[in-house]
Amino acid sequence: MQIHIWSDVVCPWCYLGKRRFERALAEFEHRDVVRVTHRSFQLDPARPRGETSSRRSMLISKYRLSEAQVVEMDENMEEMAEAEGLEYHLTDEGLTGNTLEAHQLVHLASSHDLQDAMLERFYRAYFTEQQSLFDRETLVALGAEVGLDPTEARQALERDAFVDAVNDDLNEAKLLGISGVPFFVVDGRYGISGAQQPELFTKVLARTWDERDAD
């Protein structure tokens, strides 16, 4: 059974959705035959690489919210994350930017069977440790922590390796009508939008398995 998950590394709902899905998968009787592939999505693909800005200022501008509303939204998100065993620190010092190079390294990691580890490390670095995911040296250092060769990672970014793979993911998302993430495609049969509760993932996994048996 194939599960494809579109997400962005700076999306708080994506980290939350990943953890909720994993809870459901851990209880799924046939989890050993489930293959999960993480696909790239960019919340702000037009932003120049290397350019950063305040995450909260971006939210205020994008959604026309007051600073107080964004602070309240961040606090609510931190509470939801904590309920899933995650530690978020969404402060006014957080930055946002173009995530293309982070996605390139997720694809590189995939070629070494380290995709999930790389994505998990990026999430923790950004949401828990407040590290930047927008400069190459930080990305390379985080890659090394999960087992990527620093020289290979740095060269991949310098040569724009895996940019085509990232763009393929983005284009497929457009074809599927995906406009927000996380988005889960279960065995090509069902699409699940958002960080749903584990119970929904459980139901869809079971239904998909039953339909596969009936085919």
The DSSP string of the chain is -EEEEEE-TT-HHHHHHHHHHHHHHHT-TTGGG-EEEEEE--S-TTSPTT-EEEHHHHHHHHHT--HHHHHHHHHHHHHHHHHTT------TT-EEE--HHHHHHHHHHHTTT-HHHHHHHHHIIIIIS---SSSHHHHHHHHHHTT--HHHHHHHHHTTTTHHHHHHHHHHHHHTT--SS-EEEETTTEEEESS--HHHHHHHHHHHHHHHHH-
Provide the residue range defining the domain that includes 24.
2-214
Give the mean model confidence (pLDDT) for residues 168-186.
97
CATH code of the domain containing 109? 3.40.30.10
Hey, which residues does 200 pair with through a beta bridge?
none
Looking at the predicted structure, is the pLDDT value of residue 182 above 80?
Answer: yes
Give the mean model confidence (pLDDT) for residues 110-129.
98
State the total domains in the chain. Answer: 1
Tokens of 119: 């994505």
In tens, the pLDDT along 16-36 reads: 999 999 999 999 999 999 999
In tens, the pLDDT along 64-105 reads: 999 999 999 999 999 999 999 999 999 989 999 999 999 999
pTM over 0.85: yes
Looking at the predicted structure, is the pLDDT value of residue 42 above 80?
Answer: yes
